[in-house]
Each structure stands twice: as C-alpha cells, then as structure tokens.
C-alpha cells in the first residue's frame, strides 16, 4: 500500500467501506510501518498484532473508523490482554484484564488496536524518556524530544505509522507533543471524555484524554465517537449543538482573539516561538479576525505549587495501589528519582493544602473566563511551547530536579492553566523554525488556542479554517515510514 499515509483515518475507513482495501491489509501496513519507526524512533512500548487479528475475526462493525489501525498510550487506558506499564518499572509485566470505557467506545467506532505508545513514568514530564523504555526520538530531529507525555503517540503519527493515536493531557501532554512534531491536538473540556471504569477523573480533574492527529477532521470524528457521560460521572461537559465533525467545515465567523504572550509564570516566547505567534496573528487578521494583545493576570508561581501538590498526592496514591497489587511495597529502585521525590512529597502535603489547591483552581477558572467576558474575547492565542523542542535528556525524570524543573517551567508554560481550569485548548501546527544542519526541515512549534469550558465546537471551526488556509498535511519529517 504505497498510498497508505496519504489518507487520514476517515479516508482509510472509506477505503475499507468501499472494499478498495481490507482491514487486514491496513493492519499489515500499519504493523510494518510501526516496526520500521520503532527501530528509528523508539516510540512503541508494545506491539500486539495478534490481538488486532483476533479483533478482526470478530468484526469491526460499521463505525466511522471501521477497520482503521489504532494504538493507545501506555498510561491508564486499558486494552484487555495488552500490557499496561504506565512507563514505570514498578508496573513491568502488568497486563490489562479489561477494556477501559474509552477503549470500548473506540471499538464501537471500528478502531483496531495493534500497539501501545511510550510514555514517561506516570506521564510526569514533557519529554518521553523512561528507565523502562529509554528515549523516544523526534522524527524531525533524532536528537530532540517528541514531547511528553504523549511523545510516543506523536512520533508515530508524525512519522506516518498511522493517522491518529490516543493521547492524554494532565499539564499539556497532548498539546506539547503535537507542537513538537507538527500535528494537531486538542485537550477537551473536563468531563468530556470517559476515564473509567475505575475512575471518572484523573489528577483531581486536571487530566483528560483524547488524541493527536494529522488532520483536524480525524480529531473531531474521534471525539464524536467517544465523548459523553460514563457511569458514575459527577459532572459532564456541556453537550455540543451538532457533531464536531460538522463543525470542521463551518466557518467560525469573525472572532476576537487575545494574543497572550506572557505565561502565568512570567515566561515569554523566544525568538522562534514569537515569530510563529506573529505569523499566526497576521494569518488570523488576513482571515478577518481581530487579534488584540492581552492576557489575564494570574499567579503562576502559586498555580505551579498547587499543581505539584495535587499531582504528587496522586502519584503517592498510585504507588500505594501498585503496592497492594504486588503484595509488597514498591521499592525506590522501581521508581525514577524525580518520581520518587514527588511520591514522598505527596505523603507529606497537609490535607488543607489540597483543599487550597482545589479552591485556587476554581478561582482561576473564574478569572480566565471573566477575562474573556470583560474583553469581549472568544479565544486566547499563545505558543504551545516557548521554544523549539529541547534536546533529549534535559527534562527526563532522572535529571537533577532543579534543572529539570526549570526546563519544564519555561517550555510549555501556558499549557497547565487549561488543565487547572478544565477549559479546552488546541495545538495547531502553524509554524516551523528555519532549517538547521540537524533539522533540515526546521522544527515545529504549535500555536495554542484556548476557550471557555465547552468551546470545542468553536475551536474545531477555527481549526478547520486554519487547516484550509495554511495546510500542514504535506509537511513530512526526515524520518518518514509512511
């Protein structure tokens, strides 16, 4: 199938539907490309084509992605019979005994599961490097990160293995990998996508799940297929007026967009990111939108402190759960150094601090939406990352904690706000740096648009317009196995 990578997921499904190709042929093509990509990028934690073949034997139905090969991220999402290690030595050898609710909905959409992409331990950093699996490399420059924590997914999609892959986002982990590899990625509103069956939220509501993709319409159709309340949900995101896929081809109208340069922690975009921001602002103006430089005043230091407390408490609890499964305590040598320090912090944070964290995140959600209301803004615009993808090693969980923390804080500095507020935000691949000796095609830096809770429809409308005005599908990295 020489033309396999010329199609997005919906395009591949149409080939199956029209009997131009079989689902088995698509699977074979995807597995062949996955093996080639793994050799160069180390983006898969497991490949299990036999499970996929068994799924094909039972039929894939007539869903929108019927017969399309698919992979999940090695973090929290369960595929029955497949490994699930959460990128951690402590979970090595674990096999999922059930499907997640999300997996069940993906199966109903016709997706065929054949593998799992790499994640750092518990998704705790913005690069995809782990003691268990090593370094995942960026197809645009093998010396650089593909982002984190969904860097395996982004590397695989960017390299042409498959058109769309599952990802998750607790502080930028869909948007940052999409930015680093030139893909589209949207973090949905809190309560939009199921997290069960064992839970209905992650990291006290900061984490959510969706995907990275080459086309906007794949992301929209996939969200159509999986969103909606699950059993036990205490809240659900506002229902869309129409399918998200329909929104992609609808014009967004004239929007008023706040160009928000300075992140809550004070980080400013470097020259490359700023050039992308200015070019994007001009493109928006050319499309008839109004762009005004403005941003909410938020206490980034306090937000970072309470995000750290919240995540650390959840990591400590996760290790307790694993200890119960093992029948013994997880040893420190089964954790990466920074993970171990976070788990230790999580056991010492006073309970009142978690209440303060929740209160702060509530108030900042009010502040962000009030900023939009007061300024008459529909959306905000910021760079996803404030510089091009970092060299591998600078943000891993085995580095010096202070240096690693500083590197992360200045990388995707605008991203965590949308996890803390629960609002949706998307990374759109609109900028590449100039070519270098290491990266002949330049390095991607995504542009992030954020809106109030439930604004996915508006984001998809704008994304569709931008995709038409500044197509990115033809941009292919040096490592391309498609």
Neighbour order of strands in the sheet with 112-117: 44-47, 112-117, 69-73
Peptide bond before 365: cis, by omega within 30 degrees of 0? no
Which of the residues 45, 88, 130, 149 is marked catalytic?
149
Give the ranges where 76-174 is alpha helix by DSSP (H): 101-108, 151-158
d(CA 452, CA 12): 33
d(CA 198, CA 227): 17
Q: What is the token pair recorded at 49?
A: 């084509």
Which of the residues 73, 88, 207, 396 is marked catalytic?
73
d(CA 131, CA 379): 39
Q: What is the token pair recorded at 30?
A: 């995807």
CB 37 within 8 A of CB 192: no
d(CA 102, CA 105): 5
Sign (positive or negative) of CA dihedral 472, 475, 477, 482 = positive
Contacts of 128 (CB under 8 A, 6+ apart): 43, 118, 119, 120, 135, 136, 145, 146, 147, 148, 149, 150, 151, 152, 155, 177
CB 270 within 8 A of CB 387: yes
Q: What is the token pair recorded at 90?
A: 């402590």
Nearest to 191 by CA among 221, 226, 164, 154: 226
For the question of residue 19 being annotated catalytic, the response is: no
Q: What is the token pair recorded at 269?
A: 């975009």
For the question of residue 40 being annotated catalytic, the response is: no
For the question of residue 219 being annotated catalytic, the response is: no
Which of the residues 88, 173, 207, 219 is marked catalytic?
173
Query: Annotated catalytic sites, by residue?
Result: 73, 149, 173
């Amino acid at each position: 199938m020489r033309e396999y990578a010329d199609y997005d997921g919906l395009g591949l499904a149409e080939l199956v539907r029209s009997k131009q190709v079989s689902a088995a042929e698509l699977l074979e093509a995807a597995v062949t490309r996955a093996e080639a990509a793994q050799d160069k990028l180390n983006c898969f934690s497991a490949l299990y084509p036999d499970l996929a073949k068994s799924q094909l034997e039972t039929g894939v139905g007539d869903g929108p992605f019927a017969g399309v090969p698919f992979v999940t991220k090695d973090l929290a999402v369960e595929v029955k019979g497949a490994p699930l290690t959460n990128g951690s030595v402590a979970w090595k050898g674990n096999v999922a005994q059930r499907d997640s609710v999300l997996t069940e909905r993906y199966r109903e959409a016709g997706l065929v599961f054949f593998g799992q992409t790499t994640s750092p331990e518990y998704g705790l950093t913005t690069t995809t490097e782990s003691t268990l699996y090593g370094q995942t490399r960026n197809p645009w420059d093998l010396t650089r990160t593909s982002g984190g924590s969904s860097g395996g997914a982004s590397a695989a999609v960017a390299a042409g293995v498959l058109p769309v892959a599952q990802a998750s986002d607790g502080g930028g982990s869909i948007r940052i990998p999409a930015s680093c590899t030139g893909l589209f990625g949207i973090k949905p509103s809190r309560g939009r996508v199921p997290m069960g069956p064992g839970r209905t939220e992650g990291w006290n509501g900061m984490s959510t799940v969706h995907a990275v993709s080459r086309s906007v319409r794949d992301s929209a159709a996939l969200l159509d297929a999986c969103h909606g309340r699950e059993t036990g949900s205490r809240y659900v995101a506002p229902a869309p007026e129409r399918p998200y896929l329909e929104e992609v081809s609808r014009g967004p109208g004239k929007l008023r967009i706040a160009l928000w340069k300075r992140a809550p922690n004070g980080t400013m975009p470097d020259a490359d990111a700023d050039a992308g921001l200015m070019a994007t602002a001009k493109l928006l103006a050319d499309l008839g939108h109004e762009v005004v430089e403005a941003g909410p005043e938020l206490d980034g230091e306090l937000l970072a402190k309470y995000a750290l407390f919240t995540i650390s408490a959840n990591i400590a609890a996760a290790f307790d759960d694993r200890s119960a499964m093992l029948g013994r305590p997880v040893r420190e040598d089964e954790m990466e150094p920074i993970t171990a320090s976070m788990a230790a912090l999580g056991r010492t944070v006073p309970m009142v601090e978690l209440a303060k964290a929740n209160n702060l995140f509530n108030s900042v959600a009010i502040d962000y939406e009030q900023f939009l209301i007061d300024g008459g803004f529909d959306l905000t615009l910021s760079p996803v990352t404030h510089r091009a993808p970092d060299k591998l090693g600078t943000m891993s969980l085995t580095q010096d904690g202070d240096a690693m923390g500083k590197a992360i804080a200045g990388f995707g500095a605008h991203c965590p706000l949308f996890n803390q507020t629960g609002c949706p935000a998307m990374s759109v691949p609109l900028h590449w740096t100039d070519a270098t000796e290491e990266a002949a095609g330049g390095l991607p830096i995504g542009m992030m648009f954020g809106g109030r809770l439930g604004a996915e429809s508006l984001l998809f409308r704008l994304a569709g317009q931008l995709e038409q005005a500044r197509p990115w599908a033809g941009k292919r990295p040096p490592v391309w196995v498609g």
